[in-house]
Amino acid sequence: MTPVIELDGLEVRLGGRPILKKLAATLAGRSIGLLGPNGAGKSTLLNTLLGFHKPSSGAARVLGLDVRTRAREVRGLVGYMPENDAFIASMSGVRFVRMMAELAGLPPEQALERAHEAFFYVGLGEVRYRPLGSYSLGMKQAAKLAQAIAHGPKLLFLDEPTNGLDPPARVRMIQLIQEIRDRGDLHLILSSHLLRDVEECCDQVLILKDGSIAAYCNLEEERRANLRFLELETRGASNGCFLEALEKLGCQTAQGAQGRIKVVLPEGLELRSLYAVAAEQQVQIRRLNHKRDSLEDIFLKAMEGPDGRL
């Protein structure tokens, strides 16, 4: 499978200052989150992938195409929803989206049809003839999404898509992004400083800090791994026989204080086997928790400085 984004020692300097520092990663997920505090370089990375900034060294490829030499082709495959308000206030929503679709290469008739479809899809069907300047913030965000998807891109860049939205509008936006993701027709890169947005929409996450990659992880694998990691609270397991029996099943174990045991289950082993062993050893399992290493934990670990401080 062609990687979605390949970063090969990518460095971008703006005004003589390095903004992105030797980024190297291969991102191949269906939906990838770009996470980081404000000023970490998320928008700069997106702008570089769109060809707005020239890399000062290194290379970046989008769907196998070098952004330096084949920027036009890259932009032909991409739909972009920018962070800030971006539209022409005096134009009606559907006319604006139609124009953007035509600039992306759609013939006028198809562009008009797709503009209407995109507006209905994002829930703005009833207001599509109103000037964009009269839209509320939530409607403007949805209109930005409409112009990003109207031409049917292969890759969608969403820069802070829930910025400024009230809770119902945010939920609606997240649902739209999830729907687009789940149809599987395109890849999406979601840049956000909101962990929840990324957690709900993405299966991989690239965490940036001060223009460098602080972490890159597969959330799906993390979630799956978390399902295999258990914390037990037991009674009657102090003689070590219970742990030995678990290890015979292939589990990795660690004895804690006061009957607490950490267990990593091997692939294929079901939980009921643990209860069976506990019954044989006459051990009570009082509590069983799956480890919940959330994106927040991953993010906080990535943000930690060398001295352990954030």
Partner 1 sequence: MAVYKKIYRPYAGPLTPGWRRFLTIPRYALEDLHRSRFLTIFYIATFVYPLIAAIIIYLEHDLSALRAFNADRIANLIHIDSSFFLSFLGWQSMLALFLAAFIGPGLISPDLSNNALSLYLARPFSRSEYVVGKLSVVLLLMSLMTWVPGLLLFGYQAYLEGGQWMAGNSRIATGLFLGAWIWILLLALLALALSAWVKWKPAAGALMFGLFFVASGFGAAINNVQDTKWGYLLNISNLMGSIWVELFEGGDPTSTGAAFFRVAPGQRLPVWSCWAAVLTLCAVSLWMLARKIRGVEVVH
Query: What single-letter amino acid sits at 80?
Result: Y
Q: Which stretch binds partner 1 (CB under 8 A): 80-88, 166-174, 206-214, 266-274?
A: 80-88
> Among residues 20, 139, 142, 149, which is the contact residue for partner 1, using CB under 8 A?
149
DSSP count for the chain of H helices, then E strands? 11, 14
Note whether 158 binds partner 1 by CB under 8 A: no
The overall longest dimension of the chain from CA atoms, in Å, is 78
Q: Which stretch binds partner 1 (CB under 8 A): 2-10, 50-58, 190-198, 299-307?
A: 50-58
Please choose, from the candidates 87, 212, 58, the residue with its C-alpha nearest in 3D space to the C-alpha of residue 146.
87
Q: How far is the CB of 50 from partner 1 (least distance, A)?
A: 5
Q: Which is nearer to partner 1, 50 or 215 (CB)?
A: 50
* Residue 117 interacting with partner 1 (CB under 8 A): yes
- Cβ 161 to partner 1, closest distance in Å? 15
The burial of 70, by beta-carbon neighbours within 10 Å (0-12 exposed, 13-18 middle, 19 or more buried), is given as: middle
**Inter-helix orientation angle 137-149/93-103, to 10°:** 30
* Gap between the Cα atoms of 216 and 94, Å rounded: 38
- Is 121 a binder of partner 1 (CB under 8 A)? yes
Comparing CB distances to partner 1, the nearer of 74 and 277 is 74
Strand pairing class (17-27; 252-255):
unpaired
Give the closest residue to 35 by CA, choosing from 309, 223, 295, 224.
Answer: 295
Among 40, 78, 169, 251, binds partner 1 (CB under 8 A): 78
Contact set for partner 1, span 167-226 (CB under 8 A): 179-180, 183, 185-186
Task: Kindly identify the residues of this chain, within the stretch 86-115, that bind partner 1 according to CB under 8 A.
Answer: 86-90, 95, 99-100, 102-107, 110, 113-114
Which residue matches tokens 């906080």?
300
Closest separation between CB of residue 29 and partner 1, Å? 19
Residue with tokens 């678990």: 246
Q: Which of 57, 69, 120, 300 binds partner 1 (CB under 8 A)?
A: 120
- Contact with partner 1 (CB under 8 A): which of 25, 50, 215, 264? 50
